[in-house]
Amino acid sequence: MTHGFGPYAEALDQAFRHTGMWLSSFPTRPVLPRSTEREVWSRLGAELPQSSCRAAEVVNHLATAVEPGLAAMGSGRYFGWVMGGILPAAMAADWLVTAWDQNSGSREAAPAMVATENLAAKWLLELLKLPLGSEVGFTTGSTMAHFSCLAAARYKILRAAGWDLDANGLAGGPPVHILVGEERHKTIDVALRYLGLGLPTVVPGDDQGRIRLDALYDALKRCDGPAILCLQAGNVNSGAFDPIADATDMAHECDAWVHVDGAFGLWAAASPKLEHLVNGGDRVDSWATDAHKTLNVPYDCGIAIVTQRGALRQAMGYDPVLNDSGDAPVNPFDTVPEVSRRARGVPVWAALRSLGRWGVRDLVDGLVDNARAIADGIASLEGAEILNEVVYTQVCAAFGDDERTRAVLARLLAEGTICATAVKWRGRQAIRLSVSNWSTDAADVSIALDAMRRATTM
Ligand SMILES: *Cc1c(COP(=O)(O)O)cnc(C)c1O
């Protein structure tokens, strides 16, 4: 098959064969790893080898040593954390990105990759109903998208306050007030720490984890000077969305920058049935989202979106002085933390081309329908309780007291038919299932419910 590929042929043949075995094992394999980290380490060899080894043999050794330690994150029965699978077009496109090996930081070096990523960015803005002139950076994930967006926010609001961050740094400048919801994702705090912005003011949330507007109003009243509000679209436990439109209007009254963590929730905008959840999203200043979750492209791929043109470039640009001119063509390295970088936006183009607008809608609607079916099925089990309003892809279940819930999860994971995650939700132990895989179907849902039933009745 790969004859004529010169020194690559044998290794690629082996990689293709192992890929096929891996993907075709999904229907029957347990989704959790069967080997420990230690065991994989030993099988890989432990000691640095002295001599060389044929590429094909390396691939065989690697695949064989690692395989039993793999989690089937691409399987439709993997409901742990918030993990997307891989669409076939996105996977194949990612292989090509590897083979092409384009250093995709600049259009001068990699015009084809810049064209493809820019088109993916344009399609994303249309699909997610965000202002079409926004700047888009393809990051490694939402954490780095937060970092990039909040760097733009920090730069802009300090500049508006008359402070030149590039020349002076943060020390001695006006204090920046950061407001976050009580149930924000931890990666917001991580990004704030990277940026030296200090501890945020925490605004209480309601029973679904949504930021409370009355409390936000009070907190904003106490801010004098530059401020950034971080909202959330899609709480990792409940799936709930902050009231983005009202919170944004309130924050903008105080000239605060509004950033939204929409790691998996922003994709609601692609569905006419769900877009009300992100109502007002087109008015916020920046968004972070992941393509490696809901869109089901391979790791790693996050997206930073900043609506004010030039802001991302001024904060993240390779050459911020030149970039200050505002409309020089943006290179990828002007929007993200890396200079040399993989063209990780190319699989996004492939995913969008393969699904089209209605395919993305059906993907998101399908995840939510399956989450609701799982929640309904669990609710009918003896002693079970669904702890959240299932408005999106997340389901939190409890089975009586914390001890019993932990025991149910332990039995579920020991069996390994499905993966779910232990979480604390509003002070209670819960089992969380996230439906984020394009391939999860009705059969997977009923297999999951059977596994839950066995775990509760054993
Ligand atoms: C996953 C997630 C993040 C972090 O994204 P990474 O891609 O892991 O960096 C942030 N916020 C929410 C709500 C998430 O689900």
Q: Write the secondary structure of the chain as one string of H (helix), E (strand) and C (coil).
A: CCCCCHHHHHHHHHHHHHHHHHHHCCCCCCCCCCCCHHHHHHHHCCCCCCCCCCHHHHHHHHHHHHHHHCCCCCCCCECCCCCCCCCHHHHHHHHHHHHHCCCCCCCCCCHHHHHHHHHHHHHHHHHCCCCCCCEEEEECCHHHHHHHHHHHHHHHHHHHCCCCHHHHCCCCCCCCEEEEECCCCHHHHHHHHHCCCCCCEEECECCCCCECHHHHHHHHHCCCCCEEEEEEECCCCCCCECCHHHHHHHHHHCCCEEEEECCCHHHHHHCCCCHHHHCCHHHCCEEEEECCCCCCCCCCCEEEEECCCCHHHHHHCCCHHHHCCCCCCCCHHHCCCCCCCCCCCHHHHHHHHHHHHHHHHHHHHHHHHHHHHHHHHHHCCCCCEECCCCCCCEEEEECCCHHHHHHHHHHHHHHCCCECEEEEECCEEEEEEECCCCCCCHHHHHHHHHHHHHHHHC
With contact defined as beta carbons under 8 Å apart, do 285 and 308 qualify?
yes
pLDDT given at position 132: 95
Q: Mean pLDDT for the chain?
A: 96
Average pLDDT over residues 231-237: 98
Average pLDDT over residues 107-135: 97
368 C-alpha to ligand 1 centroid (Å)? 18
Give yes or no for residue 326 having a pLDDT over 80.
Answer: no
Average pLDDT over residues 419-435: 97
Q: Which residue owns the Cα nearest ligand 1 atom 5? A: 142
Bridge partners of 228? 178, 257
With contact defined as beta carbons under 8 Å apart, do 189 and 200 qualify?
yes
Atom number in ligand 1 closest to CA 262: 13
Give yes or no for residue 320 having a pLDDT over 80.
Answer: no
Atom number in ligand 1 closest to CA 143: 9
pTM: 0.97
Q: Which of 79, 192, 261, 393 to mutate to test the pocket of ligand 1 (most atoms within 8 A of CB)?
A: 261
Give yes or no for residue 458 having a pLDDT over 70.
Answer: no
First-residue to last-residue Cα distance in the chain? 49
With contact defined as beta carbons under 8 Å apart, do 232 and 261 qualify?
yes
Instruction: Return all residues near 226 (Cβ < 8 A) that are at least 6 apart.
Output: 157, 158, 160, 161, 174, 175, 176, 177
**Per-residue pLDDT tens for 331-384?**
999 999 999 999 999 999 999 999 999 999 999 999 999 999 999 999 999 999
Output Rg (C-alpha) for the chain, integer angstroms.
23
Q: Give the model's confidence band at 325: pLDDT under 50 very low, under 70 low, under 90 confident, else very high.
A: low
Percent of the chain with pLDDT over 70: 97
Atom number in ligand 1 closest to CA 234: 13
185 C-alpha to ligand 1 centroid (Å)? 7
Pocket of ligand 1 (CB under 6 A): 82, 141-143, 185, 187, 234, 236, 261, 263-264, 290, 302
293 C-alpha to ligand 1 centroid (Å)? 9
301 C-alpha to ligand 1 centroid (Å)? 11
Instruction: Return all residues near 324 (Cβ < 8 A) that are at least 6 apart.
Output: 310, 314
With contact defined as beta carbons under 8 Å apart, do 32 and 413 qualify?
yes
pLDDT given at position 46: 80
pLDDT given at position 1: 58
Give yes or no for residue 4 having a pLDDT over 90.
Answer: no
Q: Give the model's confidence band at 319: pLDDT under 50 very low, under 70 low, under 90 confident, else very high.
A: confident
Give yes or no for residue 444 having a pLDDT over 70.
Answer: yes
327 C-alpha to ligand 1 centroid (Å)? 31
pLDDT given at position 5: 87
Q: Which residue owns the Cα nearest ligand 1 atom 12? A: 263
pLDDT given at position 328: 64
Task: Return d(Cα 170, Cα 184) in angstroms, integer.
Answer: 25
Q: Give the model's confidence band at 321: pLDDT under 50 very low, under 70 low, under 90 confident, else very high.
A: low
State the helix-helix crossing angle for 346-379 and 442-457, rounded to 10 degrees: 40
Percent of the chain with pLDDT over 90: 95
pLDDT given at position 330: 86
**Per-residue pLDDT tens for 184-226?**
999 999 999 999 999 999 999 999 999 999 999 999 999 999 9
Task: Return d(Cα 403, Cα 410) in angstroms, integer.
Answer: 11
Give yes or no for residue 327 having a pLDDT over 90.
Answer: no
Q: Which of 194, 236, 392 to mutate to test the pocket of ligand 1 (most atoms within 8 A of CB)?
A: 236
pLDDT given at position 399: 97
pLDDT given at position 128: 98
Atom number in ligand 1 closest to CA 292: 7
Average pLDDT over residues 58-62: 98
213 C-alpha to ligand 1 centroid (Å)? 24
